[in-house]
């Protein structure tokens, strides 16, 4: 059951990333780029949760997952602070 939730979280993040990056390509607003890249990073983090807890349960990949999530959030924060509309 938990594996299904991890996969659904990954798919949701991936779809959000795809839609945001597609919208960026259409209107070229930089905040859409940073948001899309953030969700791509969160999708990678969700995939790492699945790998860590389902595929390799005895291996601790927590710091890698956390680092990917922090990098993804840093992209979004950069876009929110430094990009103009």
What pLDDT, on the 0 to 100 scale, is given for residue 85? 59
Tens-digit pLDDT profile for the chain (85 aa)? 999 999 999 999 999 999 999 999 999 999 999 999 999 999 999 999 999 999 999 999 999 999 999 999 999 999 999 987 5
Q: What is the rounded distance in angstroms from the CA atom of residue 58 to the CA atom of residue 77?
A: 33
Instruction: List Cβ neighbours of 39 (8 Å cut-off, separation of 6 or more).
Output: 13, 14, 16, 17, 20, 72
Residue 70 in tokens? 């922090």
pLDDT value, residue 84: 75
Q: What is the pLDDT of residue 83?
A: 84
pLDDT of residue 2: 93
Residue in the structure block whose two tokens are 């924060």: 77
Sign of CA dihedral 68, 66, 8, 24: negative
Segments making up each domain of the chain, as ranges: 2-82
């Amino acid at each position: 059951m938990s594996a299904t939730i991890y996969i659904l979280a990954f798919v949701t993040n991936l779809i959000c990333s795809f839609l945001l990056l597609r919208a960026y390509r259409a209107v070229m607003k930089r905040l859409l780029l940073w948001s899309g890249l953030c969700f791509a990073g969160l999708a990678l983090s969700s995939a790492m949760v699945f790998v860590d807890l389902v595929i390799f349960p005895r291996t601790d990949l927590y710091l890698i997952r956390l680092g990917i999530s922090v990098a993804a959030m840093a992209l979004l924060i950069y876009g929110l602070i430094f990009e103009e509309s």
